[in-house]
């Protein structure tokens, strides 16, 4: 055991000696506060941040303390969470606003205007204002507790087939999705938070869930480009990060999007002109467990993702201890294997990727909770949220 630990430390030290400036790994932590093991993993040269889950949240004070302890250990750590609204919301008690599913904003967009309204398009303007409010409230509450980034908004289209997407999507129409997502992103930026559009180029058409299956979308590239992918082209400027789908589109590439040079570099970077961060979806999902028809380890998937063009790597829920198990070294082995693959030049550290990671950190001074809830802009946003039609 001591020899293995020394070996791992030596690998990381060799990377540090090379002056590597690329920390692509976003990992999870076990509970409500940092353990000794969490601290060691967060201190690793390849760790760039954490993703938090419901098990990491008890109340505002605890979340603030947890984020402060992460920041004290790693001042540049990117602290992330999934706080989309609807059924994907990790913090929703102790004052956190229960956010609507994004489909409710789509519903507001399509509401008929009252006969007394003489100016057309008022419903769409109201829906856009509500979307701004959703983004602002979500981001400002998280930032008040120290969280940098929520992986939102969802840019998938609701084709009525995907259970895992469903009401997480704003609408079926890519134009409506683009307009409402832009308003959500505007609200997030007003609170000092970056954004992450997902799941490129679109997860809403396939029925299979990439958490437990390998979805395949057999449509032609042209059909995807003019439908599901349209929001990414329209929003390529304001989007600061994008998460590719663990979906195979065989008319374009035999690999899932997150491991495809064709999708990430030729289409997303070159054709759409996207210059922000590309964040892999969770590498523990079933959609990432197989590449080119062959099973792969977490570290092998990570190397493929980095070489395809991902800047950041998500590996979730690996610090959790299964029943009856006292230790879980999955994350330690992953970090060690990824470090070794870097030393062997199986992937190359990318300074531009590191700059993109740092660009996702919270901007400006976040208000503490007491000052936030008294802020006129926050009060106005809450009033707008109250006007969103029910599901």
Active site (catalytic) residues: 211, 281
Pairing of strands 88-89, 83-85: antiparallel
Name the DSSP class of 369.
Answer: H
Strand partners, 202: none
Nearest to 95 by CA among 367, 372, 375, 380: 372
Find where tokens 């070794």 sit. Answer: 340
Q: Please check whether residue 388 is in contact with residue 105, taking contact to mean a CB–CB distance below 8 angstroms.
A: yes
Q: Please check whether residue 199 is in contact with residue 243, taking contact to mean a CB–CB distance below 8 angstroms.
A: yes
Q: Please provide the DSSP assignment of 176-194 as one string.
A: HHHHHHHHHHHHHHHTT--
Q: Please check whether residue 153 is in contact with residue 184, taking contact to mean a CB–CB distance below 8 angstroms.
A: yes
Rounded to the nearest 10°, the torsion over CA 173, 174, 180, 184 is 140
Residue 42: CB partners within 8 Å, gap ≥ 6? 27, 29, 34, 50, 70, 73, 74, 77
Q: Token pair for residue 98?
A: 């229960």
Find where tokens 């400027």 sit. Answer: 237
> 75 exposed, middle or buried (CB, 10 Å; 0-12, 13-18, 19+)?
exposed
């Amino acid at each position: 055991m001591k020899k293995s630990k020394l070996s791992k430390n030596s690998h990381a030290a060799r990377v540090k000696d090379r002056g590597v400036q690329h920390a692509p790994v976003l990992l999870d932590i076990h509970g409500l506060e940092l353990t000794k093991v969490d601290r060691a993993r967060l201190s690793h040269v390849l760790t760039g941040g954490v993703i938090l889950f419901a098990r990491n949240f008890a109340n505002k004070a605890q979340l603030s303390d947890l984020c402060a302890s992460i920041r004290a250990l790693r001042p540049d750590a990117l602290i992330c969470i999934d706080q989309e609204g609807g059924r994907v919301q990790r913090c929703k008690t102790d004052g956190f606003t229960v956010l609507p599913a994004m489909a409710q904003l789509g519903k507001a967009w399509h509401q008929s205007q009252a006969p007394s309204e003489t100016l057309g398009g008022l419903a769409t303007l109201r829906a856009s204002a509500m979307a701004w409010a959703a983004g602002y409230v979500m981001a400002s509450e998280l930032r008040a507790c120290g969280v940098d980034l929520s992986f939102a908004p969802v840019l998938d289209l609701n084709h009525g087939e995907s259970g895992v997407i469903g009401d997480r999507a704003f609408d079926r129409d890519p134009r409506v999705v683009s307009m409402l997502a832009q308003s959500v992103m505007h609200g997030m930026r007003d609170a000092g938070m970056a954004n992450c559009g997902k799941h490129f180029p679109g997860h809403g058409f396939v029925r299979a869930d990439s958490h437990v299956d390998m979805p395949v979308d057999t449509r032609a590239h042209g059909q995807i480009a003019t439908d599901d992918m349209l929001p990414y082209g329209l929003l390529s400027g304001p989007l600061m990060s994008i998460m590719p789908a663990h979906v195979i589109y065989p008319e374009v590439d035999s690999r899932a999007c997150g491991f495809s040079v064709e999708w990430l570099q030729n289409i997303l970077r070159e054709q759409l002109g996207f210059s922000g961060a590309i964040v892999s979806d969770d590498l523990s999902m079933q959609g990432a467990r197989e590449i080119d028809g062959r099973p792969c380890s977490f570290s092998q998937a990570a190397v493929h993702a980095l070489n395809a063009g991902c800047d950041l790597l998500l590996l979730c829920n690996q610090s959790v201890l299964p029943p009856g198990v006292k230790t879980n070294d999955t994350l330690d082995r992953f970090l060690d294997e990824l470090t070794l693959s870097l030393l062997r030049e199986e992937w190359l550290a990318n300074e531009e990727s590191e700059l993109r990671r740092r660009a996702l950190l919270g901007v400006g001074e976040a208000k503490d909770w007491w000052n936030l809830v008294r802020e006129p802009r926050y009060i106005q946003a809450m009033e707008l949220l109250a006007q969103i039609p029910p599901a």
